[in-house]
Amino acid sequence: MADTPQRVPRDVRMQGFAERASLNEAIAWVDRYSRIQDAESVALGGAVGRILAEPLLSPADVPPADTASHDGYALRSCETVGAGSYNPLPFCLQDYQPPLSPFSAALVTNGTTLPMGADAVAPFDLAQAGPEGANLIGSVARGEGVSVKGQEVQMGTTLIETSRQLRASDIGLISSFGIKRVSVIRRPLVRLLLVGRKSSKVGKLADANGPMLRALVVRDGGTVEICRYGIKERGAIEEWIARPGADLVLVCGRTGVGPDDEAPLALAAGGTLSLHGIAVRPGGTTGMGCVGEIPVILLPGSPLDCLHAYDLFAGRLIRNLSGRAPSLPYRVRQGKLKRKIVSSVGTVELCRVLLIAGDVIPLGNDDSGGLASVVRADGFIMIPATLEGYAPGATMDVYTYDEPHGVEGN
Amino acid sequence: MADTPQRVPRDVRMQGFAERASLNEAIAWVDRYSRIQDAESVALGGAVGRILAEPLLSPADVPPADTASHDGYALRSCETVGAGSYNPLPFCLQDYQPPLSPFSAALVTNGTTLPMGADAVAPFDLAQAGPEGANLIGSVARGEGVSVKGQEVQMGTTLIETSRQLRASDIGLISSFGIKRVSVIRRPLVRLLLVGRKSSKVGKLADANGPMLRALVVRDGGTVEICRYGIKERGAIEEWIARPGADLVLVCGRTGVGPDDEAPLALAAGGTLSLHGIAVRPGGTTGMGCVGEIPVILLPGSPLDCLHAYDLFAGRLIRNLSGRAPSLPYRVRQGKLKRKIVSSVGTVELCRVLLIAGDVIPLGNDDSGGLASVVRADGFIMIPATLEGYAPGATMDVYTYDEPHGVEGN
């Protein structure tokens, strides 16, 4: 598919989908439009979870000189030979600054550079206070209690690769070099187009998708710009997808086969509609295309479909743009199916499940159950398009929902 | 230990620890001082990752009435009997509003309430446009394409328990009921006491602990107030731990056996020092106590020790206060030890490791390697106090560092 020109999807309104792209075709499209963002400089304190634009090389040796690795007396190890409880050896205490005099010791704390002449640090429990200083009641070997210059990190070695989100400990290590700012992959700006409430119709619930998608985009490394348009504003979708500034546009709703499902047409008119209709359930009315260089993903308006389509396609695109791993950000656990699941051949079905003590209990793989079925679930399984389902006892991967979510910052 | 009075730890400066509390004693202390925070009301959009103060009951049925579960023609199912490609049955199209006339159909979109009289929704691909409306080319069963009132959620049932951090999908479902604010467990305010740089001493690195601890506290659900004091400010620790306002005080550094390690004394003077010295490595100089009702944890100043002591004790306390699960927020994976590890009996040792294709490769379980050894590691293992180490080939749990981190927000 990569090299052949796209078939132009036809208008499905009041007709239904004659054909749908496969999940793999849709994912290939997402990855093709995933150009990683450029770099920006951010304050180190705000860089947790971000991805470095370049590998970070150590600007110095750690430790920068031979230092004490614990508190105690810095001294010459050779002068402690023979010391013991029955043969305490007296050491004069001297200032830290000048070179060590013979049979003298200087108080040092963990992390301080050894005074010149010292080659070991005796811990306090190896000494007793004496009249002039300390009496050693045990010997120490050369290098004991000492971190040698460059022992932890040598200058110029790679400290942190660009393949992971910065951890708290990374921030600590970077900070220890006196570095205040780092260059990281810029967060993609995601424009989220939401239709205003269909207030004229009875029984519609308030907007679930806006707050949900905002949280998901932030989780995956993006920032969000929400644009709402009235249901009757003709041309609003076309206008918003064409307006510059966003790195990715998500249109939520109006992707189905109803008479007012104009999102695919608006994208085709303002840019290119590459795919509409994907053989996945929920989420089958998803569409994809471009306006100029900017990818546009059309997400179904039903919250359950919207969530799954976001995770499979939009979230992947955002993770790619952010420099993160493209895979689903859910922990995979293995489980054993408790009862039979039936699935349609030709369609990948996502089935919400409970995972209780290793047992996978399906909550429904059709579109029923709504967003509440996700909220009740521990996770979901993906049933390949080639299968008619699973028999009880089958072992499978469950994508579990218990990941911590990022909180919006900045 | 819970019911016996605490032994008062002695001054260890320039002496060393005569005895240390066990890891379990220290964790029991943490859990005893873990009173969950009270509730606060927050905007729904900022509630991702928070914990509900009370279980959320559904304020309505979902759907609130019988609704279309896909786009199509709402009609009476009994009137479609016998329809087929060779026997198209004509239906008049009528407005959505009035009750359905005989052999009439109304256009509906996914989620709209069925017009009175309709009991099924025929998808568009089951109809062809005819002169007066639509010709049905197949029959539909009663209830097809319909979500029955309360099918997804019944009013009054528990939607979300208080046992988990709110997910994006939870936010979406809550929003769908028109709820704008939720009552969640308040974030504990963590006061972080850091000593100013020991600028007079050669070879000291810049502060690693401040930025690292800030990120960790935010990850575990707290907010941070950083207070710095000069190395020569006598009484500064005592003043800051006594000042009201914080839910937990972390003192970073000055916990060891050096002459200026005054943190334990300051806590004993201003409040109660319950434990000082724990049989864990790194992190063995950690101390714990209270000022009034406020727990105070003394963390070692060496960043490696500080990180491990934070994770085992301070992080657990913050997770407890926040209503989260107390366990370490790292994914546990199993691995097989590649080469022998030696450990001291009587001390729990944390050993940084690489985890490569199931092989556990130790990076060092002593204090050497510093924070850089954490940055290089994929995670760590915990060697129980009862063991002298592990033989090659032993199977063990690895706590891996690849969790996403929260970003500071409000």
Supply B388's token pair.
């002298």
pLDDT interval class at A163 (50, 70, 90)? confident
3-state secondary structure of B371: helix
User: CATH topology for B23-37+187-321?
Assistant: Molybdenum Cofactor Biosythetic Enzyme; Chain A (3.40.980)
Is A400's pLDDT higher than 80? Answer: yes
Is A4's pLDDT higher than 70? Answer: no
H helices, E strands: number in chain B = 8, 26
Average pLDDT over residues A175-182: 95
The edge-to-edge listing of strands for the beta sheet with A72-75 is A120-122, A72-75, A104-108, A89-93, A133-136, A127-129
Measured in degrees and rounded to the nearest 5, phi and psi for residue B207 equal -65, 115
CB proximity list for A372: less than 8 A, separation 6 or greater:
B62, B152, B153, B159, B173
Give the residue, A380 or A229, on which the prediction is more confident. A380
Supply A30's token pair.
């997402």
For domain A23-37+188-321, give its CATH number from 3.40.190.80, 3.40.980.10, 3.40.605.10, 1.20.1080.10: 3.40.980.10
Determine the pLDDT at residue A7.
Answer: 61
Cβ pair B44, B181 in contact under 8 A: yes
- Do B43-62+154-185 and B331-400 agree at the fold level? no
pLDDT interval class at A402 (50, 70, 90)? confident
Supply A199's token pair.
């207030």
Q: How many CB atoms lie within 10 A of CB B34?
A: 18
Cβ pair A33, A293 in contact under 8 A: no
| Cα distances (angstroms) measured from residue B208 to each of B177, B267, B282, B306 | 45, 23, 16, 10
Looking at residue B5, the DSSP 8-state letter turns out to be P
Cβ pair A321, A252 in contact under 8 A: no
Report pLDDT digits (tens) over A325-361: 999 999 889 999 999 999 999 999 999 999 999 999 9
Report domain extents, chain A. Answer: 23-37+188-321, 41-62+154-185, 67-147, 331-400
Q: CB B112 to CB A201 under 8 A?
A: yes
Is B406's pLDDT higher than 80? Answer: no
Determine the pLDDT at residue B154.
Answer: 95
ipTM value greater than 0.95: no
**Chain A hits for B129, Cβ within 8 Å:** 14
Cβ pair B352, B377 in contact under 8 A: yes
Nearest CA-CA partner of B176 in B334, B28, B44, B373: B44
Q: CB B16 to CB A153 under 8 A?
A: no
Query: Is the previous residue joined to A282 through a cis bond, with omega within 30 degrees of 0?
Result: yes
Q: CB A168 to CB B216 under 8 A?
A: yes
Determine the pLDDT at residue B8.
Answer: 67
Report pLDDT digits (tens) over B73-100: 999 999 999 999 999 999 999 987 889 9
Determine the pLDDT at residue B395.
Answer: 97
Partner A contacted by B257 (CB < 8 A)? yes
Determine the pLDDT at residue B199.
Answer: 45
Determine the pLDDT at residue B4.
Answer: 45
Mutation for B interface: A96, A109, A148, most B CBs within 10 A: A109
Determine the pLDDT at residue B115.
Answer: 93
pLDDT interval class at A97 (50, 70, 90)? confident
Find out if CATH 3.30.310.80 is the number for domain A41-62+154-185: no
Q: CB B175 to CB A123 under 8 A?
A: no
Supply A235's token pair.
């041309």
Per the DSSP assignment, residues forming a β-bridge with B68 are B146
Average pLDDT over residues B373-377: 94
Q: What is the chain A residue with the closest CA to B169? A: A212
Of A302, A307, A402, the CB nearest to B169: A307
pLDDT interval class at A388 (50, 70, 90)? very high
Q: How many residues does chain B have?
A: 410
In terms of CATH architecture, what is B67-147? Beta Complex (2.170)
Q: CB A113 to CB B375 under 8 A?
A: no
Mutation for A interface: B148, B190, B202, most A CBs within 10 A: B202
Q: Pseudo-torsion of CA B148, B151, B152, B155, nearest 10°?
A: 110
Minimal C-alpha gap between B263 and chain A (Å)? 15
pLDDT interval class at B340 (50, 70, 90)? very high
Nearest CA-CA partner of A43 in A138, A158, A179: A179
Is B5's pLDDT higher than 80? Answer: no
Average pLDDT over residues A208-235: 92
pLDDT interval class at B256 (50, 70, 90)? confident
Average pLDDT over residues A376-403: 93
Supply B361's token pair.
């490769």
3-state secondary structure of A324: coil
The 10 Å CB-count burial string (b at 16+, else e) for A72-99 is bbbbbbebbeebeeeebbebeebebeee
C-alpha B232/C-alpha B65 separation (Å) is: 71
CATH number of A331-400: 2.40.340.10
Average pLDDT over residues A129-158: 91
Minimal C-alpha gap between A395 and chain B (Å)? 19
Minimal C-alpha gap between A262 and chain B (Å)? 13
Q: CB B404 to CB A219 under 8 A?
A: yes
Q: In terms of DSSP bridges, do strands B120-122 and B189-195 run parallel, antiparallel, or are they unpaired?
A: unpaired
**Chain A hits for B402, Cβ within 8 Å:** 164
Determine the pLDDT at residue A68.
Answer: 92
Is B353's pLDDT higher than 70? Answer: yes
C-alpha A248/C-alpha A254 separation (Å) is: 18
Is A194's pLDDT higher than 70? Answer: yes
Average pLDDT over residues B374-384: 95
Report pLDDT digits (tens) over B116-147: 999 999 998 899 887 778 999 999 999 999 99
Q: Most confidently modeled of A357-366, B2-11, B286-295?
A: B286-295
In terms of CATH architecture, what is B43-62+154-185? Alpha-Beta Complex (3.90)
Report pLDDT digits (tens) over B225-238: 999 988 777 788 99
Average pLDDT over residues B50-74: 93
Q: List B residues 152-191 in contact with A (Cβ-Cβ < 8 A).
A: 152-153, 159-160, 164-173, 175-178
Q: How many residues does chain A have?
A: 410
How far from the centroid of its chain's Cα atoms is residue A197's Cα? 32
What helix, strand, coil percent values describe chain A, rounded to 5? 20, 30, 50
Is B195's pLDDT higher than 90? Answer: no
Cβ pair B134, B128 in contact under 8 A: yes
DSSP code string of A198-209: -TTSTTPPPPSH
**Chain A hits for B49, Cβ within 8 Å:** 404-407
| Cα distances (angstroms) measured from residue A392 to each of A339, A349, A352, A365, A369 | 5, 17, 16, 15, 22
Looking at residue A362, the DSSP 8-state letter turns out to be E
C-alpha A289/C-alpha A241 separation (Å) is: 11
